[in-house]
Structure 1
């Protein structure tokens, strides 16, 4: 459908717009005139179907301007624009936001920002192995000068983000595996406890037959490989019947 406009010159400029478009891109990729969209006083855009392979749903846009008192319109711009049914690339997502767990390959580097709020300088949070009751500041200064220890450690916000992510993940208490378990990880002999603030809620599974072996698990998590798991009588395999010695021969079978 071709829209109407109060500007008679623009309304009658479809042929001029097509001529300018064909001169720019070639007649083989220009389809029928679709509509005229007013853009303002004396300005309108004619849209033409695009027949270029690989661009279904796209439209050629030819913008024209008509100055008051002039007998014809002037072509301002020619562009190819996507229509409502056009196939377009997804919205651009910054590299930092595209990274997902497991995306890194050997040799890849994922740098952290200097102002990453998950990290704070070590002298603000400290490490237990680097602290000293008597001269904590001096020990840290020497360690930093010699290149020992860590420059930054997890901030309170960083620890909270990690704890929330672990607790809500597959190794948390709400996973389907944990919901079906009869025992929780806190009482399992295969649980290796962590050190530091996160040790209050998490440990590492060390059962090679468990789904979460070598993974951080919440104390409220659980699975069927608990160290104290016992089979109930009804879950035990059925006893094997006593063997029967078959002494029949083919001749005996024929007599029956």
Structure 2
């Protein structure tokens, strides 16, 4: 109908173009590149044997393909040669972009790198060892400094202040999470079978400060947690409410005396 606007049609996005076929056919060109790379370390004789079976190809984009070969090198079990080759289009020449050794799922590789300041474990510290603390450790913040007023300073020390550095909120949170999830936390096997929790035990010495309501030190010499920080939700069989029971632990029947003598008359000839 005259005057009726024609709706604009947006063409569908074109899908990725397939890589040129010569990239998939260039297996020997890729193998040759891997051999050249291996020759730098193994020499010409050993390099040819170091590049094994062709494992397949991976398409990088519409102009590049990576060929993979087994790496037959002593000590490199599970590794593969990855040779990326490229071409500007069908009928164009093939060039080598990159040749590398890559580990597979079964390859022996070095463990992930751990920063030096994170490698020390608690049980690594021996008598005489020193473990410096970083000045910007996020677990610590500047503490209270003496004011010069004895009354104020005495009260501050009673509250646990007077130190150059104290725990930051992050430091307290980290410690609380670590202790809660540890062997003296509420989810420990010992706690789940306990008659009551440490929060109601007379042997609990509460911690001072912000963690006062959540943790304390066990002062029961009979408990496996004696001298350790425990969560108030932890517990064990040595709770102060456990009372002694009287009586024999095994039922004992009444005593029967059989040392009496009964006489029965016997007739003649019996």
For the residue of structure 2 that corresponds to 1:232, the secondary structure is: coil
For the residue of structure 2 that corresponds to 1:31, the secondary structure is: strand
Cα shift readout 1:190-220 (whole Å, capped 9, x = no counterpart):
3334333323332211223311011012334
For the residue of structure 2 that corresponds to 1:200, the secondary structure is: coil
Number of equivalenced pairs: 224
How far 1:131 sits from its partner (Å)? 7.0
Matches within 5 A, 1:1-256: 5-8=19-22, 10-25=23-38, 26-40=47-61, 42-66=63-87, 72-94=93-115, 101-105=122-126, 110-123=131-144, 149-233=162-246, 236=249
Q: Is the 8 A contact 1:168 1:174 kept in 2?
A: yes
Structure with bigger helix share is: 1
For the residue of structure 1 that corresponds to 2:225, the secondary structure is: coil
Cα shift readout 1:115-174 (whole Å, capped 9, x = no counterpart):
433321113xx7xxx67777859xx9xxxxxxxx52210123432432343334332334
Partner of 1:254: none
Which structure has the greater CA radius of gyration? 2
How far 1:114 sits from its partner (Å)? 3.6
Structure-1 separation of matches of 2:166 and 2:92: 73
Gaps of 5+ in 2: 1-17, 39-46, 157-161, 256-270
TM-score, normalised by the number of residues in structure 1: 0.65
Cα shift readout 1:46-105 (whole Å, capped 9, x = no counterpart):
222222233333221223344679975333332111235545445545455666554545
